[in-house]
Chains A and B, each alone.
Chain A
Amino acid sequence: NAGVTQTPKFQVLKTGQSMTLQCAQDMNHNSMYWYRQDPGMGLRLIYYSASEGTTDKGEVPNGYNVSRLNKREFSLRLESAAPSQTSVYFCASTRSDRWNQPQHFGDGTRLSIL
């Protein structure tokens, strides 16, 4: 039961470096999401993809780009990492053609920017 798989689980970057976080789901979900979690702030939506071929900004999109590679995969890219992007990143997916379905989350990626 893989569900939502995120890679890597941990990463340390230097300021200015680039990085792509990978996310894949095997539940045939059409909607996928990227969140960041910071202490005392809960989870905040960065970008989401309602369906294959579409992406939209969430609450905190600045400094990030996304790619919905296919129905299974949704990647998050930091082009020039900044210390403010130190956070735990979660990918999630859901079947949005059934409106009562919850989001399923990956195990998160802990990213530190030095």
Chain B
Amino acid sequence: AQTVTQSQPEMSVQEAETVTLSCTYDTSESDYYLFWYKQPPSRQMILVIRQEAYKQQNATENRFSVNFQKAAKSFSLKISDSQLGDAAMYFCAYRSETRNTGTASKLTFGTGTRLQVTL
């Protein structure tokens, strides 16, 4: 079974600064997806960014980017120019992949990192 570890329960960053959230995972599979989800106080689960394991290029979405190190099984999230609205719980998630049509792809989540953004 896959496991996802987020070793930083809480992080703090000043507005406009950059912060990196860590995530490591354990798997014996070669094809998989990795995700970062954001959960603000409203409790919604919002997809931030995703990475396909077969792609060497790190994914980016505006101020959000990842550092994907497949051999090290590491998938960190970098938030640049942090904003007050970035304050939330961030979850790293792993999904096995199968090419079989109709097979459900289950997510395995880390325990989350709570990000505070200060003025």
Contacts and interface: CB of A to CB of B under 8 A. Distances in A.
Contacts of B104: 31, 33, 48-51, 56, 94, 96
| Best-surrounded residue of A30, A58, A103, A108 (most CB of chain B within 10 A) | A103
Contact of A107 (B44, B47, B109, B110): B44
Contacts of A58: 106
13 contacts: A40-B9, A41-B111, A43-B45, A45-B107, A48-B106, A49-B104, A50-B103, A58-B106, A96-B103, A99-B99, A99-B105, A100-B52, A110-B43
B82 to A, nearest CB: 23
Contacts of B47: 102, 104
Interface of A: 30-31, 33, 40-45, 48-51, 56, 58, 88, 90, 92, 94, 96-97, 99-100, 102-105, 107-108, 110
Interface residues of B, number: 27
B69 interface: no
Contacts of B68: none
B101 interface: yes
Contacts of A92: 45, 107
A114 B91 CA distance: 29
A105 B44 contact: yes
A94 B44 contact: no
4 closest residue pairs by CB, A with B: A105-B45, A50-B104, A42-B109, A31-B104
B98 interface: yes
Nearest to B45: A105
B15 interface: no
